[in-house]
Each structure stands twice: as C-alpha cells, then as structure tokens.
C-alpha cells in the first residue's frame, strides 16, 4: 500500500529565481508548432492512404473515417508525444522545449490530449488573440497552459535537480 504525502506541492518553476528556464520559449514554441503541423500533415496523408485501402476492403464503409482523420491523427500525435516520456512533441524537442506540470511532474497522455483540445477550442472561439496571454504571463504561458496548470520551458537546464 502506497503512503501518500500530505505535504503541499510546491511550484517548482519560478521565473524570478530561474529565468533561464523561460528565455526564448515563446519564439521557439511558435516554430515548434509549425514543425508539428508539418509532421501531422505528413502522418495524415499516410493515414489517408491506409484509410483508402480500408475503404476498398470494407466496400466503402471505411471511407467514413476521412471525416475525422486529421483530428484523430493530431490528437493521437499530441497525446502520445507530449504525454510520453520526453514530455515534448517532436517539434518541441527540435526547439529544445519540454512541458511539465506546475509542480514538476511530466504530463500524461490524457492531459496532453486535453491540452491540444483546449488549445484548438480556445483559438476557434477566441481567435488567435488568445495567444496574447503569453505576453502578460510571467512564464510565457498561453491560456490553455494556465487552465491546465502546465509550463513549457527549456530543456537541459537542470530541471531534474528539482
């Protein structure tokens, strides 16, 4: 039986005491987004070919998957890369970024999927102006980061020491 700690969780990523964790995050996060969009597009094309053959094999029934193809690919891509052991999508890894929860834990696949869904819903409803939140956030967090309690920061900056 595991004994749970009753000690409160501490916010481990203070931008005042550790500003190097957040230097250049906003710009590199934008480039990481574009890298991930290209990767998702390539995966969607590859899955589209698979769905085509599935549609032929199922006498047309498989073609219904085209309606949700890119959404499913994007959601799976985010859930299994951002929620994986590296805590970063391939675009984020290429840009030297990683995501953590505010108390230091790595995100899990369900949280990563929710992160993507809240991002797309907020951008759809509130326009890209929702991205302006990062200009006023001390950790350069976006609206969906604030809602879920996540932090995107630089990798390799002694984050394991926490």
Quick: pLDDT tens for 41-60.
999 999 999 999 999 999 99
- Three-state DSSP class for 150? strand
User: Per the domain annotation, does 38 fall within a domain?
Assistant: yes
Summarize the confidence of residues 103-114 as an average pLDDT.
Answer: 93
CB 87 within 8 A of CB 124: no
Q: Is residue 124 part of a domain?
A: yes
pTM for the model stands at 0.84
- The helix (H) or strand (E) run that includes residue 100 is strand 97-101
Q: Which pair of tokens denotes residue 4?
A: 């749970």
Task: Find the distance separating the first CA and the last CA of the chain, reported in whole Å.
Answer: 26
Q: Name the domain count of the chain.
A: 1
Crossing angle for the helix pair 69-82 and 25-57, nearest 10 degrees?
A: 130
pLDDT tier for residue 28 given thresholds of 50, 70 and 90: very high
Strand ranges for 116-156 from DSSP E? 150-154
Range of the domain at 78: 22-157
Whole-number average pLDDT of the chain? 88
Return d(Cα 66, Cα 34) in angstroms, integer: 23
Question: How high is the pLDDT of residue 6?
Answer: 64
Q: 79 pLDDT band (50/70/90 cuts)?
A: very high
Residue 1 lies in a domain: no
d(CA 95, CA 155): 9
Token pair 């991002």 is found at 119
State mean pLDDT over 94-119: 93
Residue with tokens 């574009």: 34
Classify residue 44: in a domain, yes or no.
yes
Q: Are 119 and 128 in contact (CB under 8 A)?
A: no
Question: What pLDDT is attached to residue 114?
Answer: 96
| Residue 128 within a domain | yes
**Which residue has better confidence, 73 or 15?**
73
Name the DSSP class of 14.
-
């Amino acid at each position: 039986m595991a004994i749970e700690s009753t000690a409160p969780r501490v916010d481990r990523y203070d931008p005042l005491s550790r500003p190097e964790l957040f230097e250049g995050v906003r710009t590199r996060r934008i480039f990481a987004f574009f890298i991930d969009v290209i990767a998702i597009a390539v995966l969607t094309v590859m899955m589209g070919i698979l769905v085509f053959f599935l549609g032929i094999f199922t006498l047309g029934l498989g073609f219904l998957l085209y309606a949700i193809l890119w959404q499913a690919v994007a959601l799976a891509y985010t859930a299994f890369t951002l929620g994986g052991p590296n805590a970063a999508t391939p675009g984020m890894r290429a840009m030297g970024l990683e995501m953590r929860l505010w108390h230091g834990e790595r995100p899990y696949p369900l949280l990563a999927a929710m992160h993507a869904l809240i991002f797309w819903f907020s951008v759809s409803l509130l326009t890209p102006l929702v991205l302006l939140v990062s200009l006023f956030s001390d950790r350069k967090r976006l609206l969906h980061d604030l809602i879920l309690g996540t932090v995107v920061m630089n990798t390799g900056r002694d984050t394991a020491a926490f």
